[in-house]
Amino acid sequence: MGFVTSGSTEGEKDPSPQVEEIRLRTASDLMNDDLEVATANGTKLRTVAVNLLYGRFQALRDITLEVPNLAITAIIGPSGVGKSSLLRLFNRMNDLIPGVRVEGKVEMDGLDLYDPAIDVVELRKRVGMVFQKPNPFPMSVFDNVAFGPRRHGLKDKGKLRELVEISLQRAALWDEVKDKLNQSALALSGGQQQRLCIARVLAVEPEVILMDEPASALDPISTMKIEELMRELRRRYTIVIVTHNMQQAARVSDWTVFLTMGEHREGILVEYGTAGQIFMNPKDKRTEDYITGRFG
Domain CATH number, residue 156:
3.40.50.300
Phi then psi for 210, rounded to 5 degrees? -95, 135
| Strands 43-54 and 57-68, bridge-based pairing | antiparallel
Residue 208 near residue 126 (C-beta atoms within 8 A): yes
Assess if residue 147 is contained within a domain. Answer: yes
pLDDT number for residue 13: 45
Answer yes or no: pTM beyond 0.95: no
Maximum C-alpha span of the chain: 69
Assess if residue 203 is contained within a domain. Answer: yes
Through-space distance between the first and last CA atoms of the chain, rounded to whole angstroms: 20
For residue 132, CA distances in Å to 16, 212, 213, 239, 242 come to 25, 5, 5, 15, 9
**Cα(5)–Cα(190) distance, rounded to whole angstroms?**
38
Give, as one character, the DSSP assignment of residue 77.
-
Domain region containing 125: 3-291
**Cα(3)–Cα(244) distance, rounded to whole angstroms?**
18
**How many structural domains compose the chain?**
1
Name, in order, each residue with C-beta under 8 angstroms of 295's C-beta and a sequence gap of 6 or more. Answer: 78, 289
Assess if residue 296 is contained within a domain. Answer: no
**Cα(155)–Cα(128) distance, rounded to whole angstroms?**
21
Assess if residue 70 is contained within a domain. Answer: yes
Give, as one character, the DSSP assignment of residue 184.
B
Angle between helices 220-233 and 190-202 (to 10 degrees): 20
pLDDT means per 10 residues, the chain with 296 residues, are: 37 48 48 52 95 95 97 96 97 94 97 96 95 95 97 93 97 97 97 97 97 92 93 96 93 96 94 94 94 77
Instruction: Tell me how long the chain is.
Output: 296
List 127's β-bridge partners, or say none.
208
- Closest to 255 measured CA to CA, from 63, 78, 44, 34: 34
**SS3 state of residue 277:** helix
**Cα(141)–Cα(197) distance, rounded to whole angstroms?**
10
**Cα(89)–Cα(84) distance, rounded to whole angstroms?**
9
Residue 75 near residue 213 (C-beta atoms within 8 A): no
pLDDT number for residue 68: 96
For residue 211, CA distances in Å to 26, 41, 59, 201, 260 come to 23, 21, 19, 11, 20
Write out the E strands in the chain: 43-54, 57-68, 72-76, 100-108, 111-112, 127-130, 208-212, 238-242, 255-261, 267-274
pLDDT number for residue 28: 44
Name, in order, each residue with C-beta under 8 angstroms of 112's C-beta and a sequence gap of 6 or more. Answer: 105, 106, 118
